[in-house]
Structures are given as C-alpha cells and as structure tokens.
A and B are shown apart, each in its own frame.
Chain A
C-alpha cells in the first residue's frame, strides 16, 4: 500500500542534543513538507521541498535542518539551537503542479519531548 511513514512515533531528547526524525513516502510525490503542531494550534510550516536536492525554509525554520537526497525521503533534524522543540511533528507529501486534488498525505506524526 502506498503511504507516508514517520518514525519514531515517540522521541525523547535531552537538552543540547540533536535528533533526526524520519519521513519516507512511496507515493512518488515530488513535494514533501514538515509541519510542527503545538497543543491547540494549527500546523506551522518548518521546511518544504518540491524536488530532490532542493528545499526551502518555511515560517519557523530556525533550529531545524533538512535534506532531500532521495525523492522518497525527507528527514528533519531538530538541533540544539531550537529553543522549544517539544511538539508534534508532521510530515506530508503531495504532487507538484496545478492539476489534481492537491491533496497532502500526512504521516502519523512524531511526538518529540525534551527531558
């Protein structure tokens, strides 16, 4: 079955550590996104990529980094520079272009907690 997979589901990080969240899709989508969701808040865009080897900062990119070496993969690293990293992180993918439903497919999320 096609889909988008995030791992791990839960992640605990000590202050000062970098952690990497995995996101893999087999939908053959060109575009991939990372969002952050805090309690009672909407989804805020961290980074996005519309083609392999290229990515752009979203609204809250500070303290985060990404790579897009393969079409299927878009890992997110939460660095020690991120002051308040505890949140629910969501990865999504979609087609690029003006046709179709432009539906974004989401993974199940990674809940990151700083301990």
Chain B
C-alpha cells in the first residue's frame, strides 16, 4: 500500500541556518507533491507544489526538490527564523489519478534565536 514517511523527530536548528526536511514515499508514482505548513491548533496552509517532471521549485526562502528515482522530496528553508517554527507536512496525490491529497505525519521544525 502507499506509504509516506517524514521524520517524526523534531528538527532543531539555529536562526539563520538552512533547515532541510525529508519526505520519502513507497508504492507510489505521484504526479505531484505538495508541502504545507501547520501551526498548532490550525489547519495546514499550502506552501509549494512540484510536479513529477520538475526537479526543483523555489519560492522566496523556500526550495523543494523532487527525485522520482529515489522517491524522495527535500524541503529547504534558507536563512531560517524563529517564525518558521511549525510542523511541515508533505502531501502526494493518491494513486489512480484521483488527485486527492494524501499526507505524511509531518516534521516539527524548531528554530532557536
């Protein structure tokens, strides 16, 4: 069955450093992959989408890569700030082309001043 894996351990980094979060998947050939940010007690907010034929996508301090051979996406936040502290979720479309977002459990990022 489809499986999405994100590191369950929180990532702690110092302000100004680059944060790198990982999303791995198995038994999947997604057409696209999305990253969302979720703050405690709130709904997720969309950040970026990358399609299967794209290697890299950037938006301001965010960068996403997508390696369909390794079945992995990396999410980078450069020049991280304490305000970037949140849980980051990756989501892939469901197999069968139904385009229904299927989410990983997310990785908590804590940026220390």
A contacts, CB < 8 Å to B: 31, 33, 35, 40-43, 45, 48, 58, 88, 90, 92, 94, 96-98, 101-109, 111
Among the 9-residue stretches B14-22, B39-47, B61-69, B77-85, the one with 4 or more Cβ atoms under 8 Å from chain A is B39-47
Instruction: Name the one of A40, A41, A42, A98 contacting B99, with C-beta atoms under 8 angstroms.
Output: A98
Contacts of A103 in B (CB 8 A): 34, 46, 49
Contacts of A48 in B (CB 8 A): 100
Contacts of B105 in A (CB 8 A): 40-42
Contact check, B43 vs A107: say whether CB atoms are below 8 A apart.
yes
Any chain A CB within 8 A of the CB of B25? no
Categorize the interface residue count of chain B. Answer: 20 to 34
Contact check, A40 vs B8: say whether CB atoms are below 8 A apart.
yes
Contact check, B41 vs A102: say whether CB atoms are below 8 A apart.
no
Contact check, B43 vs A90: say whether CB atoms are below 8 A apart.
yes
| Contact (A101, B49) CB under 8 Å given A42-B105, A45-B100 | yes
Contacts of A97 in B (CB 8 A): 99
Contact check, B100 vs A106: say whether CB atoms are below 8 A apart.
no
